[in-house]
Structure 1
Amino acid sequence: MSAPPRKMELSPKVIAAIAAAVLALVVAAVAITVRVEHRRHGHDREAGHEEHDGHQHGEKEGAHGDGHDGDHDHDHDNDRAEKHAPDEPGEAHAHGDRLKLSPAMIQNAGLEMLTAGPGNVAVTVTLPGEVALNAEAIAHVTPRVPGTAREVKKQLGDTVTRGEVLAVLDSRELAELQRELLAAKERLSLAEASFTRHEALWKERISAEKEYLAARQAVAEARIEHRSAAQKLSAAAGSGAGKGTGYALVAPIDGTIIEKHIAIGEVLKEDTQVFVIADLSTIWVNVTVYAKDLSRARIGQTAWVKAEGIEQSARGTLAYLGQVVDEQSRSAVARVVLQSPGAAWRPGLFATADIAVEEAAAPVVVSDEAIQRVEGKDVVFVEEGDAFEARPVKIGRRGTSGGGPPGAPAAEPRRGAPVVEIEAGVAAGERYVGKNSFILKAELGKSEAGHQH
């Protein structure tokens, strides 16, 4: 019979020793792994440095061996490829300060070509203002007698002529005045008949002279009464008096109805403002002249006026300059009169007036819109063959176009358009981009950004 197996019992000290040994083995293994990885990465870096140095060395050898700079060859290849690349629709190519656009892009951009040439530059003072009605060409239509609107013939915005009927009223007061006139007329007829009879009897010595004189006096009084009744009716109704109780409101001037305050059946008093008619063939622009500009402003000077929402400016004349300066704003009021400016010029619009205070001849002027700012310089995009060159220019006086000097063709910008005198950079006769030149500036900027990248 075999003996039972013996149980191995470990003391706490033995267990602690075993755990310490296991932990030491784990730490050693981790350290060995880290050292191996470190040596492998160091080898890779050294190989990379050697490869990089070899690459640089090869580049230098290629550059010095061929006698050509590698970067120069790269740029030359790009320029050659760009030169031979066909222009795609809507594509722009830049070579330095020259920009070439495809025909499709030129058409879509709406570029306007102008010709630089001599012209008069009108130095102007820009003043703020407001479009207003010509206060001397306004008529207020009011009934002279109270009445009720029977018929309204004209509406707001209608164009009317002088004497045209605007509305018809029924007036009890007018009917009473007409009745008095008819009664006075009848009394005058009776008095004249009585006088004729008494005159005949007096001449035949049948009646006494006293009766003849009394009949004569009665005729005179009847005539005075009739004349007075007619004047009262005329004063009340004027040319609007009609048959019966009808009273017509008529237009006193030619113009446009800008206000209407009447409806059929409405009872109107004699002071009711029924219609307002304005002659819009001339309008005013009331501008503010500040103290610093008062000495330069003169009555009769030409003014070019622009209003919000209206593309084309209008030419007018400074017709009035106030003699009193406002104590608050230290400015005076001036008035520019515009003749037949068009229906778009509505009273109440804000406006600016360029008053021409000085005008001088310049050998070369271009449109102010053509001037663009590129890299801190003023440039004009001048047509050079099939490309546009951003030509730096020296700017002189700024103002509005006053036309060409005597004996010289006028510059292309229309009269009153903003222009700039060119002292250097563009010669007379050269073609340049006058409208939408900012598109070329944007394309040039994009091309430069692409090359830098």
Structure 2
Amino acid sequence: MKSVIFSSLVFAAMLSWGLTYSANLQASGAAAEQGEPEPEKGPHRGRMLREDDFAVELSIFETGVPPEFRVWITDGGKPVDPGQVELKVVLTRLGGVEDQIGFAPQSDFLRGDTVIYEPHSFVVTLTARYKGKSHRWQYDNFEGRTRIEPSIAEAMDIGTGIAGPAVMRETSSAFGRLVMNPERVRLISARFNGTVEAVKVGLGQRVAKGQPLIAVNSNENLKTYTIVSPIDGVVLQRQANPGEQTEGRTLLTIADSNALLAELEVFPATRARIKQGAPVALRIRGIDTELQGAVRQVDTMIRRNQSSVVRVALKNPPVDLAPGAFVSGDIQVAEYEVPLAVKRSGLQPFRDFTVVYAKVGDEYEVRMLELGREAGDWVEVLGGLKPGTEYVTGNSYIIKADIEKSGASHDH
């Protein structure tokens, strides 16, 4: 019932969000129909800013160099010597961070002194002074950014986390079977040779420690004594029947069926990285829950197929497990801490980048990442994200879809 109510709430929230978005989209379309012009582009594919006869073309140039601003200036349609103009640009990014950019003349343009790092999403404020007169323009240049109301984000279960250090645990997959732990198998024989008078347990029967198993009449003193079980377990083999002589042979085989090992096959490249005691996550056919174990021993022998056996002790196994069951496992082969990592679940493609979505207030914006090692749920971040950034970890595809609907462009 709770699930139905929650689903209804999510549907209502998404419907409300969709109607709001449609209304905004219709408003934008109406503005376009009323003749709202697209930003004017100059001969260098930059944005044109005009005041009377004075004009500035501001372009992000990134051919053969890291992204930088370049500016061409005209007055009355004629090129202006860039050395005669004082120019400054301030980029105000999401969260109020400001990038101050100065310019110096080069050839027929002014060249910015700062790399314009991704994302190219900011409010641009440009001021220019020429022939004693000041000019100022300001405009939005957003990309990969959207706004979602907190109630909508909560209804759609958009989860967030804080980017920071993480312990990376690398694993390697392996496959095998469950086997009896040989250290928990007991071969039952008679202390004194004699005649088997009675066998009190049957094949496959569970027995308790101290439970009577076999009555034997001794050949030495003709007295009957009882053999009891040394462990809790199950009768795997029964080799004795009443009237037979014990003759020093094994009469019963009992094993602790709860003391199972997983025997997993690994190959040389993985074998060299496995340490005794390493954690192992196990999955057994027919059991929904993942079981935990630890490496008990790595076999020193290499088989014909070049594999080796890794024996894994199970922690708190279910009582209904049986030897012979197929098992797969993820064996931990390395553990290390990195200074900055993000959850793999938060990653999304954006243009030619892999990104996460940073959250500031009720706004979300792409952060282009330089990634390192991957392990489990975590991916190491080498660049593109500041430690302490709140970012989307759950249902990040919703943010991606909304940004794609908004059509935020990469305006140079």
TM-score by length of 2: 0.49
Structure whose CA Rg is larger: 1
Higher helix share: 1
Higher strand share: 2
Q: Which has the higher contact order (CA 8 A, sep 6+)?
A: 1
TM-score by length of 1: 0.45
